[in-house]
Structure 1
Amino acid sequence: MDNLFEIARKGNVDKFVDSCKERVACVAKHRIDENGNPFHIAASKGFLLSALQKIIKDLEESTRVEVEKAKDWEKVKRLEKELKNNKKYIKEALLDKSYIKDNKAVSPLYFLDPSEQKEVKQIADIKCGFICNKKFHICLYIVGAIVCATAMCVSLYLLFSASQSLALASIATIASGGSSYLLFKACNEVYGLYNESTIVTDPDVMQLLDSGLAPV
């Protein structure tokens, strides 16, 4: 596993593919003295997509060959489970946010352009849930802002008719504050979505932060 980082830095795609296939379960792991995992390095070097295509293809092909040779159902199930686990390890590595870039935790997907991100997600079967989708969040914020603004207008009308000046002032303040907050959140989401889609310099996704800040 220790050599995977060095192999990735050297940019030897074939050797990197072979090493990853031999130790798929270790790809998502990272050392204390490293920033991120080997996929972060491969992505920053520009060969993650090509390497991933070969890794998945070879794993599926070797499993198919072994399944055809298998003489009992138990071995077939074991081989299929092993392939499924290997793909899970690869997905975990692709979603691992242990790399720190500009004081921000990012996954290997950050270093890919939008078209590469899409292809990698398809290959690794990474699905973005509708509820977690940024565009969905933006729509919710905008709808919320519209609802707040509508409620504010209705409240203003009803309260003005009833001449309840104090209640009018307080509800108007609350409604306008809520509307402004939701619009502010929507703008932030749009800005974040723009950044994730366009940053492709030395160049943008899981859960653990490492303390290592040394550049790859």
Structure 2
Amino acid sequence: MIGIINYGAGNIFSLTAALTRQDITYGMVNTVADLDLYSHIIIPGVGHAGAAMQKLTQTGMVDAIKVLKVPVLGICVGMQLLTAHSEEGNAELLAIFPLKTKLFDKGLSIKIPHMGWNKIAFKNNFLFEGVAPETQFYFVHSYFIEYNPIFDIAAVHYGDKFSAAIQKDNFYGVQFHPEKSGKEGERLLKNFSNLSL
């Protein structure tokens, strides 16, 4: 059963609706004690990384998240929270990944935020099992995670190359929104729910 960390991020409805369509049971994680109730954890994300980190700190969840041994999936801002630092609010984050979250380069003549469907190139990873090559996923974000071949399991180009998905041990992150990415996005959520360590 998936626990969704409730820290005031938007878009919970889209995520829970996608999980329901896949017959994936879920509940809300409101306190540190709630983390023990679930076999998988999702950190959802819409909003500001700095503000989100403040809310996680206020709930006392920061240290508890860092030591989780179950599969964890960060989505969009939830993925960015897994990095060490974000230029959004100049915020120190969970630092599970030694990576930085950066603002898109306004000199690249690209629209910010990055919003819409983009094709990703993913590696052989259980999270993408059964997902068709060249699949497009839905993105909406102004900040991105720097590409790093050690942790990157999917990359995307928008002005420059950056990480669309990352993994370190039991921690996963996706910059796109699987809950808004149709059948292939829901397949990814189903894959995550089936992950075992």
Q: TM-score, normalised to structure 1's length?
A: 0.28
Structure having greater relative contact order (Cα 8 Å, sep ≥ 6) = 1
Greater gyration radius: 1
Which structure has the highest helix share of the two?
1
